[in-house]
Amino acid sequence: MLKKLICSLVVAGCCHNLVGAKESDVIGDLANTLDNRWQLGQDKISWQVKDSHEDHLEFSGEKMSAIIYYGSDTAGKLSLKRKLVWPMLRTIPNDTHASLIHDFPIEISPKWTINGDVSVAENLVNVEFDGVLTLTSTLGQSIVLERTLSPSTNLPVLVERLKFTNNGTKSIDLELSKLDYSLKTKKSNGVYGVYHIQALSEESGSFTLKPNQSVIVNAKYMATKQGQEYDVVVDKEIKKRQRYIESLTSDLQLVTPDPIVNQMFNFSKIRAAESIYRTKGGLMHGPGGGRYYAAIWANDQAEYINPYFPYLGNANGNESAINSYEHFARFMNPEYTAIPSSIIAEGIDIWNGAGDRGDCAMIAYGASRFALANGDEKDAKSLIPLIDWCIEFSYRQMSKEGVIASESDELEGRFPSGQYNLSTNMLTYGALVSSVHLNNELGRKDIAKSYAQRAIKLRSSIENYFGANVQGFETYRYFEGNEKLRAWIALPLTMGIFDRKQGTLDALLSDKLWSADGIYSEAGNDTFWDRATLYAFRGIFAAGETDTAMRYFKYYSRKRLLGEHVPYAVEAWPEGNQRHLSAESALYGRVVTEGIFGIEATGFKQFSVAPFLPSTWNEMCLNNIRAFKDNFDVCVSRKGDAFEVAIKPENKPVMRLPWQGKAAISVNL
């Protein structure tokens, strides 16, 4: 009986027969309309500078984050600003945005003269990114300056290596002076008193560079509390960063015929995993963007990124996920008043400025999926009280129509959401579905059955309340009275509900919602948030419309990786100027794991998989998946009109499963 209840939920990967991919020869046509500014290399991208252009990217370590603004100005000269953030050096007032931040423009660099000339222009000729950023410029006709910038993995330092090389035929005289920049903040402005901001270099003096000779100057940009000292070896820090990048590259490896998608996925793992800070409240994943650090949110952390960490197998990521749920669990209460949206300032304060955003739905959805993929019974048992409490909280907000109220949603009032919005209800539904599997694993059969029944009823209520014709499309209204299409109409597809699939697909990809930068938040408004676009891609893949999904996903990937603002998924525009918030990169990763490969955790050692191949691909693999306390590969290859799915656990025989490309396959490791 229970199995029938679960299957009747029509969850992607359970008992629903998904629509197979259509044959198409235009999967790449949309992506091919783009012009690349950047070129794809082996595990890197590069820009050969031929015009004026500026960009910025963020990279992080456990104790700092750096937003690097770089480019070539109208005269061809290098423009460079290093915006450094120290999340654990708290400022006053100690609110969400109270990280110490300091800008180091290009002028705060080691100084030099060449053959006595102090006015030699630094003209940018090449930029390379492979996890560290390398800016190559020419100084006159024969001298090349290569700046390599990298955050320390565990110190509050950005390091910069400057390598001067004589590429000419004559010797040159290079005079280097030390960089010695120092600033102390006011004691009254810091939670921990005075902070010492410094920029230092080690090498100085006079050098004669013969042809093909080089000299290296090491610089470091840092901030500390009074009395703190760090032994910083620049070359060592760069190598530590490179080893860290290699470790992320080796796990959860995507192998497809599309090198752009492969590399975008590879970079997305870096941005997703690096933004974890070692706070006094434990490891905390933070969105970043110069605004959001040493704090957690019910959407960015609990919902978006935490369920992804087990697949990546990143130890800090899994620890930060559990830590975030433990922080939220502190706020459970017998009165069932809302959990705060965000826990800030290293865990000692909260932000709840938008009221209940459906935060419990976000937490229950993310925590239940994390618990299954994490594959640890003890951890799961510790999370169950929070999941149960959040589901109960949500049900206490239920209307007589059977839908769940929230004061706002994850956009916090930027767009109207009504009293009952589609997002809160779909996340609650998703939480129920995953909790059915989780409670069955833990032997709580009656609760699993109850949640399955609740999910069936909620699904029906969602259809009755939100199902509507909006702007000519048979899809969903976002709230009662909503007359404009909204990006989050993709959520039912993401959660495996395909009743209004065609109308929803048509709406999402119509000129009312689809734009050159992804899906508009609302029809008629040019605001876009990548999170909604990435959820939509997951939903379209889940619906079995693989060629359609891949056509738009390839376009998006190429634009974000090789276009004008690279190399990650972004937060939004116009707000924030497309900041490289970290959790959006995790949502990109989940398009691959849950969308393209259709992996859905159904137990501590069990999952369903529906890896639909685009019609122009013959095979694809996702290797070294670290979920379920295991290490395994999932590969799918075309076998005539059908497929073979190969599951390759570490040190175990390969499971070769014939697949007709319809119902998902259940796998037990």
Please say whether the beta carbons of 507 and 513 come within 8 A. Answer: yes
The partner residues of 182 in beta bridges, in order of sequence, read: 198
What pLDDT score was predicted for residue 20? 34
d(CA 379, CA 197): 40
Please say whether the beta carbons of 310 and 370 come within 8 A. Answer: yes
d(CA 111, CA 440): 66
- Strand, coil or helix: what is 451? helix
Compute the Cα dihedral for 524, 525, 526, 527 and give only its sign: negative
What pLDDT score was predicted for residue 140? 85
Letter string b/e over residues 602-632, b meaning 16 or more CB atoms within 10 A of that residue's CB = bbbbbbbbbbbbbbbbebbbbbbbbbbeebb
User: pTM here?
Assistant: 0.95
Local mean pLDDT, 10-residue blocks, the chain (669 residues) = 38 33 67 96 97 98 98 97 98 97 97 90 97 96 95 98 97 95 97 98 94 97 95 97 97 98 98 98 98 98 98 97 98 98 98 97 98 98 98 98 97 97 98 98 98 98 98 98 97 98 98 97 97 98 96 98 98 95 98 98 98 95 98 96 95 94 94
What pLDDT score was predicted for residue 141? 76
List % helix, strand, coil for the chain (3-state, nearest 5).
35, 30, 35
User: C-alpha angle 266/271/277, rounded to 5°?
Assistant: 140
d(CA 177, CA 646): 60
Please report how the helices 377-395 and 445-466 are oriented relative to each other, as an axis angle in degrees rounded to 10: 40
Output the six-digit token pair for 507.
Answer: 């709406």
| 380-386: long-range contacts, CB 8 A cutoff, minimum separation 24 | 380/438, 380/441, 380/442, 380/604, 381/442, 382/322, 382/326, 383/322, 383/325, 384/438, 384/439, 384/442, 384/444, 385/329, 385/332, 386/325, 386/328, 386/329, 386/332
The partner residues of 591 in beta bridges, in order of sequence, read: none
What pLDDT score was predicted for residue 25? 60
According to DSSP, residue 46 is labeled E
